[in-house]
Amino acid sequence: MKSDMEKGVKKGLPGGVDFGAVLRTYGIVIGLMIIIVAAAVLEPTFLTKNNVLNILRNMIVTGLSALSMTYVFMLGMMDLSVGSIISLSGVVCVTLANKFVQTDAQDANTYPIILVAVLLGAVMGAVNGSIITLIKGRLGASFIITYGTQIVFSAIAMLYTGGNFIFGSYYKGTYAAFGKGLLPIWLFLVIAAMMQFILKSTKYGKSISFIGANRDCAYMSGLNVGKYIIITFIVSGICSALSGFYVTARIGSATPIQGNGYELNAIAACVVGGTSMQGGTGSVINTVIGVLVLTVLNNALNVLGIDSNSQLLFRGVIIILSVTLDMFNKKYAVKKG
Amino acid sequence: MTKSSLGKVDGREIKKFLLSKSVLIVLILFAAVMGFIYPEFLSFSNISNMLQDISMYGVAACGMTILIIGGDFDLSASSQYAWAMILCISMTSIVGPVAAMLITLISGIVLGIVNGLLVAKVNLNSFTATLGTQLVIRGLCLAYTGGQMINTQNETFTAIGNYKLLGFSSLTYVYFITIVVVSFVLYKTRFGRNLYAVGGNAQVAKFAGINTSLTKIAGFACMGLLCAIAGLMFVAQMRAGSVLYGTDLTMSCVAATVIGGTSLSGGSGNVVRTLIGMILINVLYKALIFLGLSSYLQDMTKGIVVILVVVFDYFTSSIGRRTKSVTV
């Protein structure tokens, strides 16, 4: 564990002057720059205002879940139910909106709907967290339990809609505003900043990092491990539910399968950002950069007219490259420390 | 004599034995109840159909069990499965069916070794490494087929897929031979024993002189080979291939392994348990179809069963196995 701490200290130091250190510390940011420059040179429309805003807005869907996935990773766990929570919260939001937000006078009803989504996400997260705490589970248990709840939540979304696409009949006002313009981007940045602050500067953040680094030790120091696990999964549920709401605000409709696969996107974003799956270390800012890399790459490939089939390939390569880079970073830090 | 020894068997021993066979007991009870309500449920044709249905995923699940025993994990299983189908079908038109199958098997081993190298040599977490290779392999398949289904009319595959012996399909035999071979490898070979040691505690295994990275790479190679065999079985039965087939393969294999009672933390388990897990899931599915439930409810039941089994396993493990010193 000592070496881990040393690594953390090493990472915190300023990069130094030699090129190798810069590359190791800011490799992912440099990669992002290269993608942006290459896309901008090859296709000038890439850097237009509309496209940039589009990238930022697209980023939020995966981004919100990825933020909370960072917390879950810090615990040394995983949440595979994220995608199903996005789907379920999305269909519930649109159904409620179809009932309660039908005229301009009912515009303020949007806020209770968001509250319902948050509560729904919290309940689903609490279910995940409670079961995992009940069996005193670690990575393996969190994996299989959230896989189980993923199936259950997605089946509930299917039953709720009968498997149908739900069209939002009134798509104006506040509800739609959450998916347009600069508002969602600002909100996302505020949430990200808040989560980074909580992670780095509060008792809760320090505790989950401690639990992730050495759970037995945390338990023996008197931390209520179960409580922190449940809270973390509740946070994960809430963020994913908000992401589900955001999708419906953006496109004005919902399907019970729209969140499928988002859990892997969120995990990929954390991994590309350099959060380790071993737990104990991680940063929300890095995750935001990770989400940005994946979204920019996706958009750049789209703008360049590369078909969606080959895009998977690029994404896979980026993931492997970034985790390999991260691994070499750590090896180097251990060697030097 | 027998009476006295019987008398000595205390309740705890019986409880331990019953709990260690709990999944099998649940399966037998469940099948008996279903057979009582619907006699055709236990008919020979239904059973042989079921064994044929589970055989493809079952073979891949054997590979997943090997990996999980070694403490690793493979998310790219479904991509490797699709890759095997597509490669085999496209090669058949060029070099003929037998050579195509051989090439597919070799490519499966190669893909497995690539995964293994990423995990054992580059030291990546098996989950992240295979998350990446999953996308790469899927991307290659999609780019090659353009997302279309491809098929073959070769008679060799028809002959293999339709062959039946004693009422059981050839695929069922392939599955059972795989189980026997993998069990032998796990229990009787040096590689198999090393795998348990590495899965139990990689650090200790390394200090004991086991080549842990080679063991891990070999485990991934087995996984690749078995996924390729599963893909070939699919081709033999359907004579078609597409990335859309078997997208749930990875998680179904993990579910079957876990329901069978192989611990996700590694170091224990066997493929016969996975077979029982596979059958239990399938019997459950079939039962829900017989009962006329909607497919969404079937999915939901599958999820609930997975959760219940893990929770149940935790509460019984304190009786069945040694408890860990610190249980946080």
A151 and B303 within 8 Å at the Cβ level: the answer is: yes
A151 and B299 within 8 Å at the Cβ level: the answer is: yes
* pLDDT at residue number A232: 94
Letter string b/e over residues A169-199, b meaning 16 or more CB atoms within 10 A of that residue's CB: ebbebbbbebbeeeebeeebeebbeebbebb
Query: Does residue B108 lie in a domain region?
Result: yes
Of the candidates A134, A267, A323, which has its C-beta nearest B311's C-beta? A134
Please identify among residues 229-268 of chain B the ones whose CB lies closer than 8 Å to any CB of chain A: 251, 254-255, 258, 263-265
* pLDDT at residue number B229: 93
Alpha-carbon distance B113 to nearest alpha carbon in chain A (angstroms): 15
Q: Is A324 on the interface with B (CB under 8 A)?
A: yes
- At a CB cut-off of 8 Å and minimum separation 6, what does A253 contact? A94, A165, A166, A167, A168
- At a CB cut-off of 8 Å and minimum separation 6, what does A180 contact? A250
DSSP string, A45-98: GGGSHHHHHHHHHHHHHHHHHHHHHHHHHHTT---TTHHHHHHHHHHHHHHHHH
* pLDDT at residue number B318: 57
Query: Does residue A336 lie in a domain region?
Result: no
Question: What is chain B's mean pLDDT, rounded?
Answer: 83
B139 and A323 within 8 Å at the Cβ level: the answer is: no
Q: How many domains does chain B have?
A: 1
Please say if the pLDDT value at position B281 is more than 90.
no
- At a CB cut-off of 8 Å and minimum separation 6, what does A245 contact? A89, A90, A93, A113, A114, A117, A178
Of the candidates B133, B264, B327, which has its C-beta nearest A140's C-beta? B264
Torsions phi, psi of A317, nearest 5? -65, -40
A316 and B134 within 8 Å at the Cβ level: the answer is: yes
* pLDDT at residue number A8: 45
Confidence of residue B115 (pLDDT cuts 50, 70, 90): very high
User: Domain span at residue A252?
Assistant: 32-327
CB B235 within 8 A of CB B100: no
Please say if the pLDDT value at position B324 is more than 60.
no
Number of other CB atoms surrounding residue A234 within 10 Å: 21
Positions of chain A with pLDDT under 50: 1-13, 15-16
- Which one of B68, B135, B305 makes the best mutation probe of the A interface by having the most chain A beta carbons within 10 Å? B135
CB A178 within 8 A of CB A109: no
CATH number, residue B79: 1.10.3470
A143 and B327 within 8 Å at the Cβ level: the answer is: no
User: Domain span at residue B304?
Assistant: 44-310
Average pLDDT of the residues in B238-262: 83
Place of tokens 């299917």: A158
B303 and A310 within 8 Å at the Cβ level: the answer is: no
CA distance B193 to B71: 13
CA distance B303 to B285: 12
Q: How far is CA B270 from CA B9, B200, B240, B260, B277, in A?
A: 27, 14, 32, 9, 11
Give the pair of three-digit tokens for residue A329.
């970073």
User: Comparing C-alpha atoms, which of A196, A264, A266, A207 is closest to residue A232?
Assistant: A207
Average pLDDT of the residues in B218-239: 91
pLDDT tens digit sequence for A220-254 = 898 899 999 999 999 999 999 999 999 998 888 88
Query: Does residue A204 lie in a domain region?
Result: yes
A155 and B310 within 8 Å at the Cβ level: the answer is: no
Percent residues over pLDDT 90 in chain B: 20
pLDDT tens digit sequence for B37-84 = 888 777 888 888 888 888 989 999 999 999 988 888 888 898 999 999
B259: chain A residues, CB-CB within 8 Å: none
Q: Is A156 on the interface with B (CB under 8 A)?
A: yes
Q: Is A160 on the interface with B (CB under 8 A)?
A: no
Query: Does residue A16 lie in a domain region?
Result: no
Q: How many domains does chain A have?
A: 1
Query: Does residue B86 lie in a domain region?
Result: yes
Tell me the ipTM for this assembly.
0.79
- Which one of B69, B83, B131 makes the best mutation probe of the A interface by having the most chain A beta carbons within 10 Å? B131
Is residue A277 classed exposed, middle or buried when 0-12, 13-18 and 19+ CB atoms within 10 A define those classes?
buried
B139: chain A residues, CB-CB within 8 Å: 309-316
Alpha-carbon distance A258 to nearest alpha carbon in chain B (angstroms): 16
Please say if the pLDDT value at position B10 is more than 80.
no
Confidence of residue B325 (pLDDT cuts 50, 70, 90): very low
Please identify among residues 279-308 of chain B the ones whose CB lies closer than 8 Å to any CB of chain A: 294, 296-297, 299-300, 302-304, 306-307
> What is the Rg, in whole angstroms, of the alpha carbon atoms belonging to chain B?
21
Q: Long-range contacts for A183-190 (Cβ within 8 Å, ≥24 apart)? A: A184/A57, A184/A60, A184/A246, A184/A249, A184/A250, A185/A53, A185/A56, A185/A57, A185/A60, A188/A59, A188/A60, A188/A63, A188/A64
Alpha-carbon distance A159 to nearest alpha carbon in chain B (angstroms): 6
CATH number, residue A104: 1.10.3470
Query: Does residue B59 lie in a domain region?
Result: yes
Place of tokens 């319902």: A116
* pLDDT at residue number A179: 83
B311: chain A residues, CB-CB within 8 Å: 131, 134-135
Torsions phi, psi of A254, nearest 5? -150, 145
Please say if the pLDDT value at position B97 is more than 90.
no
Alpha-carbon distance A140 to nearest alpha carbon in chain B (angstroms): 5
Q: Quickly list H helices, chain A.
A: 2-12, 19-42, 49-74, 82-100, 110-134, 139-161, 173-177, 183-201, 203-213, 215-220, 225-251, 262-273, 284-303, 308-336
Q: Which residue of A lies nearest to B114 if distances are taken between CA atoms?
A: A320
Percent residues over pLDDT 70 in chain B: 90
Alpha-carbon distance B243 to nearest alpha carbon in chain A (angstroms): 11
Please say if the pLDDT value at position B1 is more than 60.
no
